[in-house]
Amino acid sequence: MSTVAELQKKVKELEAQLAAVQGNAGPVRQKIDVMSSEVVDSNPYSRLMALKRMGIVNNYEKIREMSVAVVGVGGVGSVTAEMLTRCGIGKLILFDYDKVELANMNRLFFQPHQAGLSKVDAAAATLQNINPDVAIDAYNYNITTVDNFQKFCDTIRTGSLTGGPVDIVLSCVDNFEARMAINTACNELNQKWFESGVSENAVSGHIQFIVPGETACFACAPPLVVASKIDEKTLKREGVCAASLPTTMGIVAGFLVQNTLKYLLEFGTVSHYLGYSALTDFFPTMGLKPNPQCDDRFCRARQTEYKARPVVELATEVTEDLTPVHADNEWGISLVDENIPEEEDTSNLKLVDGVQVAYSVPVDSSTPESSTGGAVAASELSLEELMQQMKSM
């Protein structure tokens, strides 16, 4: 029989081994209660708090109160989550139902030893290690199914640090169905969110800021694509679904988090739409008005609410300088107001050059494409009878 002391020694050794295996062998950074702007080697926030001293951001430490939901923790979402973690975001909520695979290794963040783990759990562990001050919740499910969608909505509605709605939702998903699910949820919950995406040919991407009722929602128009200057006919799709590059994904994640920080900490201008074409280094930006005939009834309801609200006048400090800058005007140059009032009919999106809709949808959808099968007539059979008929075929 071993003595108690021997056993205790053995436990200590095993604990050390376990910690080494788990990768916690090195020094672990302790939690920090208040962000300090002290410039010392040991302060992980000194360079961020320097943004205040330089007058870029007024209230950087406010980021500690902010909660962000990241939907999709793949090539864009994982990098997005890491950036926010390093910035000291208060809370991160991660959603994904996929596992890490070796086929993901051309992208950033995940490492080969994590293959087989769920993306959200693998990401949460890495992020928590980078910054223990961030509260991280991980949800491993597909948000587009009926049951999970309700859970997703509830989490967005009550997931903040104070139990209220999150401050912003970031869509980093890779498919139309999930984007539409997020759009549906955010229109219903009146939740601001960013859509982001990288094209399947990996050479273009975009971000879009969606304020329900105020800017175009994801259902207001067919998906927007940045012109890639590639002839679709020459694009070879034989044998592959999608290509990806860590560069394009990193750039889009950077755009996404940059605009998220600007929105959360109220500095600079938040882009409503920012595109990126890798082949030509072209970055179109534009505003996007909602479509009054949007298919999503909650989008239309939010538009009505938005119109009913009084216009918010932004207070700006005005330092008046009464002396004309140029006393003479030899060339007769004058300023012309470019703010032409927007027309009410905005069903046709005013897209900037270089951005187009992926496909067109007929305005009048009541005329169906030719079908000799006609329309289904209301059946006298009950659903159960129809199910049975189908089963017995």
Partner 1 sequence: MVDESTKKTLSSIPLLQTKAGPRDKELWVNRLKEEYQALIKYVQNNKAADNDWFRLESDKTGTKWFGKCWYVHNLLKYEFDLEFDIPVTYPTTAPELALPGLDGKTAKMYRGGKICLTDHFKPLWARNVPRFGIAHAMALGLGPWLAVEIPELIERGVITYQEKSEEAK
For the residues of 44-77, what is the DSSP string, one character each?
TTHHHHHHHHTTS-S-GGGGGG-EEEEE--STTH
3-state SS string for 80-97: HHHHHHHCCCCEEEEECC
DSSP state of 366: T
Q: What is the C-alpha to C-alpha distance for residues 136 and 120, in angstroms, rounded to an integer?
A: 10
For 315, phi and psi rounded to 5 degrees? Answer: -75, 125
**Using CB under 8 A, which of the segments 161-169, 208-216, 303-311, 372-380 binds partner 1?**
372-380
Q: What is the C-alpha to C-alpha distance for residues 88 and 46, in angstroms, rounded to an integer?
A: 11
Among 11, 14, 25, 387, binds partner 1 (CB under 8 A): 387
131 sits near partner 1 (criterion: CB under 8 A): no
389 sits near partner 1 (criterion: CB under 8 A): yes
**Using CB under 8 A, which of the segments 23-31, 257-265, 334-342, 365-373 binds partner 1?**
365-373
**Using CB under 8 A, which of the segments 10-18, 204-212, 260-268, 367-375 binds partner 1?**
367-375
Sign of the alpha-carbon torsion through 356, 357, 359, 365: negative
C-beta of 31 vs 391, nearer to partner 1: 391
Site for partner 1 in 305-364 (CB under 8 A): 358-362
Give the residues across from 224 on adjacent strands: 357
Q: Are 218 and 349 in contact (CB under 8 A)?
A: no
Question: Cβ of residue 39: shortest distance to partner 1, in angstroms?
Answer: 46
For 81, phi and psi rounded to 5 degrees? Answer: -65, -40
Q: How many CB atoms lie within 10 A of CB 229?
A: 12
365 sits near partner 1 (criterion: CB under 8 A): yes
C-beta of 134 vs 294, nearer to partner 1: 294
Q: What is the C-alpha to C-alpha distance for residues 28 and 42, in angstroms, rounded to an integer?
A: 12
121 sits near partner 1 (criterion: CB under 8 A): no
**Using CB under 8 A, which of the segments 11-19, 127-135, 302-310, 385-393 binds partner 1?**
385-393
The three-state secondary structure class of 297 is helix
Among 38, 177, 305, 342, binds partner 1 (CB under 8 A): 177
For the residues of 330-359, what is the DSSP string, one character each?
TT--------PPPPS--SS--PPTTEEESS
Among 237, 266, 285, 348, binds partner 1 (CB under 8 A): 237
C-beta of 26 vs 368, nearer to partner 1: 368
Look up 241 and say whether it is catalytic.
yes
Among 17, 59, 111, 175, binds partner 1 (CB under 8 A): 175
Question: Cβ of residue 96: shortest distance to partner 1, in angstroms?
Answer: 11
Tokens, residue 84: 């926010």
**Using CB under 8 A, which of the segments 33-41, 157-165, 176-184, 286-294 binds partner 1?**
176-184
Q: What is the C-alpha to C-alpha distance for residues 333 and 392, in angstroms, rounded to an integer?
A: 81
Which one of the listed residues 220, 241, 294, 299 is annotated catalytic? 241
279 sits near partner 1 (criterion: CB under 8 A): no
Among 11, 14, 18, 386, binds partner 1 (CB under 8 A): 386
Q: What is the maximum span of the chain, computed from C-alpha positions, in angstroms? A: 103
Place of tokens 């207001």: 220
Judged by the rule CB under 8 A, the positions of this chain that interact with partner 1 are 98, 142, 144-146, 149, 175-177, 180-181, 184, 219, 222, 232, 237, 239-241, 295, 358-362, 365, 368-376, 378-379, 381, 383, 386-387, 389-391, 393
Cite the active site residues.
241
